[in-house]
Structure formats: C-alpha cells, structure tokens
Amino acid sequence: AEDDYLLTTKLFCGMCGAMMFGECGTGRNKVVHHYYKCYNAKRTHSCKKKTVRKVWLEDLVVNATMEMLKDDQAIDAIVEMVMQLQDQESTTLPLLEKQLKETETGIQNMLNAIQQGIFTASTKQRLEELEKQKEELSLSMTTAELQKPKLTREYMEHWFSQFRYGNPNDRDFQKRLVDT
C-alpha cells in the first residue's frame, strides 16, 4: 500500500466479522482518500458496511488505547491476562518434562535389572539409548526455556506504562502502540 495502514490484520467488520483492509481512492477533485473497507463488502457484496475514514478511525483507536492505559486498573487487568496466557502457552515444556520422567523411570528399571544380575548386550544397549535420550530431552527443555523467557509482572507494568506519555501524533509511536 502507498500509505501505512496501522490497523491492517487487527480490524474486523462489526457487521459480518470479516477482516477490514486499507484502500485508497481518488475523488472527483483529484484528492486521494484513504479508508478501511470490509472484505465481504468489497469482494462478495454480502456485507452492507460502509467504508471508514482511515485517519479518523486510527486516531480513535490510538486515543482510546492511550486513555485505557492511563487507568491503573486496566493495566493490572491486562498484565493479569498476559500472565495467565504466558502460563498456558507453554505446551512443549510439560510434554518434555513428562518424557524426561518416563526416560528416568526406564533408566531406573534397567539399573534394577542389572542389579538383579540380568545383564546382556541388549540391556546395555537399551541403557545407553535411554541415557542418550535423557541428555537430548534435557537439552531440549533448556532450549525451550531459553526461547520463551517468562516476563515478570513488574516488567509488563513498566512496558505498558511507557505508552502513557507518548505523543499520539507521532506515527512511530502510534504503530508501536497498535502493534503492542
């Protein structure tokens, strides 16, 4: 697009729920108008939603978001939701922990068998396989933990509070605010 549409991929039609996208057109007096339009209204004509002026809508969203971020209770609620989401999202780590526990149980069972005098080439090979699997799982768990560091409540509160005093007319600030 010629112009930067801040709400692209974040704006949905209130009538049909389809995504709205940025579009521009030239009026009769050769003035270029920028606006958002419903996908269904444009492509399938199944929605009656009219176009919405870009500058008006983006200013409305930025100002409403800044007002919301001035409220300490709103920031606390957002931080609480992010903390819950952060705890829920990690599905890989619990799975790796479960596999590691099963592997350690297998190693312990092999050691018990060896202690009882059952020692063959296959028990030795299986024990080595389990030890290797344990190493790989430990490495995978460490990698997964490093890839997605946990954010603290204080860090998130500070992060959201930085938007309280930004310039709502600065395009870079608007982009950061909307993206966040």
Mean pLDDT score, 19-35: 90
pTM score of the predicted model: 0.61
CA distance 66 to 33: 26
- Distance, CA of 167 to CA of 159 (rounded, Å): 16
When pLDDT is averaged across residues 58-83 and rounded to a whole number, the result is 89
Q: What is the mean pLDDT of residues 30-53?
A: 92
Distance (Å, whole) CA 53 – CA 37: 9
Q: Which residue has the higher pLDDT, 117 or 46?
A: 46
d(CA 35, CA 37): 7
52 close to 7: Cβ distance less than 8 angstroms? no
- Indicate if the pLDDT at residue 1 is higher than 60: no
**Quick one: average pLDDT of 75-96?**
79
| Residue among 41, 49, 26, 6 nearest 168 (CA) | 6
CB 103 within 8 A of CB 128: no
* Amino acid code (one letter) for 135: E
Quote the pLDDT of residue 50.
93
pLDDT in tens, 141-153: 888 777 666 778 8
Q: What is the structure's pLDDT at 91?
A: 66
What's the pLDDT at 2?
58
DSSP string for residues in the chain? --S--TTTTT-B-TTT--BEEEEEEE-TTS-EEEEEEEHHHHHT----PPPEEHHHHHHHHHHHHHHHHT-HHHHHHHHHHHHHHHHHH--HHHHHHHHHHHHHHHHHHHHHHHHTT---HHHHHHHHHHHHHHHHHHHHHHHHHHHSPPPPHHHHHHHHHTTTTS-TT-HHHHHHHHH-
In tens, the pLDDT along 106-132 reads 889 888 888 888 888 888 888 888 899
Q: What percent of the chain has pLDDT over 90?
A: 30
Task: Compute the mean pLDDT over every residue in the chain, rounded to the nearest whole number.
Answer: 86
